Structure 1
Amino acid sequence: MATETFVLPGDTIDTEILPSHPTLPLKLGPGLRHIPPNTITSTVAGQLCTDKRKNAVWVEFNGSRYNPMVGDLVIATVQKGDRDYHFCSLSDYTQNASLPQLSFEGATKKTKPQLNTGALVYARVTLANKHMEPELECVSSSTGKSDGLGPLTGGMLFSISLAMARRLMHPKPVEQCNLVLLDAIGEGGVPFEIAVGRNGKVWVDSKNIKTTLAIGKAIQDTDTKSLTVEDQKKLAKKIVKDS
């Protein structure tokens, strides 16, 4: 269960409201900066959210520019490649990221995925530094498994706000994010897959183009029109009926 407090840029975060896990290190998310040795300040205005279970803290805000952070899951678009790397776009006004050719489960020089310009990949940020281009991976460095990362084939890509991306990636509990759209569509018997990137991208795939478009547009409408829970349920029923 997360708790929320409103903060302004430059506010020092009281250590008493920070989560304290016996084994996990404290994870700072978007909107926060660590000033050694022990000071944490906010860089934006928004809701300070803490998750004791994950020992994480972040500021919930609707910024327009994505700033990569280590550990972020993103949907990247391949722009070009060479023998060793793919170079991928994350979002407008964000520096392109590099993705090693062999950073895929089971990849070798002979079996690495062939990704053309425009191909989509679901990846994790492994390096984020304002002085260097971001680096990505599509495989866990500790297990060698993809863990759901890798090329995204078929489906369609939709742009959403950074705040909506965070809501989609933390959909539980419903009471906190008021997001029931996807659960309602699934409960209606419509099969679909999604991948959500913290860079404001969501990939949707379903049984046909019409349904895929409907789900993607419904996510965007929920985002831009701030649909209530009841409005989302009505929209989900329409998608189920038309599918």
Structure 2
Amino acid sequence: MTTTERPLVLPGDPISPDLIPSSTSKPLRLGPGLRHVPPSDIVPVVAGQLITNHQKNSMWVEYNNNRLKSSAPAQTSTSPPYPPTPPMTLPHLSFESATKKTRPQLAPGALVYARVVLANKHMDPEIECVSQSTGKSDGLGELKGGMVFDVSLQFARRLLMAKSKEEGKVEVLELLGGEGLVFEIAVGRNGKVWVGGEDVKTIVVVGRALRETDEGGLGVEAQRKLVRRLAKGMK
């Protein structure tokens, strides 16, 4: 994704035509935080950073909120859990190859990596752990062990787009792997990151690296220094 500017915008601010993608081969796609006002005005409805993807002819506003996002770690308990999530429905058959006899048995408070399939103000959200198009889990399902860490929504999006050429690339996970740490993660668009590993110390180090990178807005070189410091502390 090619982005050259990330201007801050406020609700109702006019957006310069220079920042709007102008591809003639694809329709312009507006993401979260933007609204089309006929006939041709585009205005932000939230405060945040305006992000433009010229390759996909799309734009959106990057901002933090507490709304449910597609694909996110969530707990199945309806009592106040950690991390806090609203009550939601996870049908027993919303798992790969699940039947009435083979459906998974989730304990209260179990953590799952799920996709939001229904969310409106009149009903509890519904989530699923299977792709409707493939019938496969595609990495979704119960997350056992590990720990959950909070990051900003913007940082979560950057983690999910780590393989892109977007400015502000996050390399901290690759760097940690280069130091010999063995771990796995599940990144939710709700700002929750689950980290599993071979031992608690590894999990804590990975979570700390993610939090410090996010909160400090660290660039690639600063991420390298952080990882070297944390890896040294483990020896």
Moved more, 214-223 or 165-174: 165-174
Amino acid at match of 2:110: A
1:73 and 2:71 are equivalent in the alignment: yes
1:131 and 2:119 are equivalent in the alignment: no
Partner secondary structure for residue 98 of structure 1: coil
The 8 Å contact of residues 71 and 114 in structure 2, kept in 1 or not, is answered as: yes
Change in Cα spacing, 1:96 to 1:43, as seen in structure 2 (3 Å) is farther
Residue aligning to 2:133? 142
Deviation at 1:220, TM superposition (A): 0.9
Residue aligning to 1:46? 48
Residue aligning to 1:10? 12
Deviation at 1:110, TM superposition (A): 1.2
Residue aligning to 1:83? none
Change in Cα spacing, 1:212 to 1:203, as seen in structure 2 (3 Å) is same
The 8 Å contact of residues 211 and 239 in structure 1, kept in 2 or not, is answered as: no
Amino acid at match of 1:32: L
Number of aligned residues: 231
Amino acid at match of 2:209: A
Change in Cα spacing, 1:78 to 1:174, as seen in structure 2 (3 Å) is same
Residue aligning to 2:107? 116
Moved more, 34-43 or 110-119: 34-43
Query: What runs of 5+ residues in structure 2 fail to find an aligned partner?
Result: none
- C-alpha distance in 1 between matches for 2:126 and 2:39: 27
- C-alpha distance in 2 between matches for 1:21 and 1:52: 11
Change in Cα spacing, 1:26 to 1:128, as seen in structure 2 (3 Å) is farther
Deviation at 1:205, TM superposition (A): 1.2
Residue aligning to 1:107? 98
Moved more, 174-183 or 133-142: 174-183
Residue aligning to 1:31? 33
The 8 Å contact of residues 83 and 148 in structure 2, kept in 1 or not, is answered as: no
- C-alpha distance in 2 between matches for 1:158 and 1:142: 30
Match of 2:208 among 217, 224, 227: 217
1:237 and 2:235 are equivalent in the alignment: no
Amino acid at match of 2:47: A
Deviation at 1:108, TM superposition (A): 0.9
Moved more, 98-107 or 162-171: 162-171
Q: TM-score normalized by structure 1?
A: 0.80
> Any idea what the Cα deviations from partners look like across 1:166-203, whole Å, max 9, x if unmatched?
22112244661242211211222322111111111000
Change in Cα spacing, 1:37 to 1:121, as seen in structure 2 (3 Å) is farther
Deviation at 1:90, TM superposition (A): 9.2
- C-alpha distance in 2 between matches for 1:66 and 1:129: 14
Residue aligning to 2:174? 183
Change in Cα spacing, 1:18 to 1:139, as seen in structure 2 (3 Å) is farther
Aligned-residue identity in percent: 52
Change in Cα spacing, 1:221 to 1:21, as seen in structure 2 (3 Å) is farther
Match of 1:167 among 158, 170, 184: 158
Query: What runs of 5+ residues in structure 1 fail to find an aligned partner?
Result: 81-86
- C-alpha distance in 2 between matches for 1:196 and 1:19: 32
Change in Cα spacing, 1:128 to 1:216, as seen in structure 2 (3 Å) is same
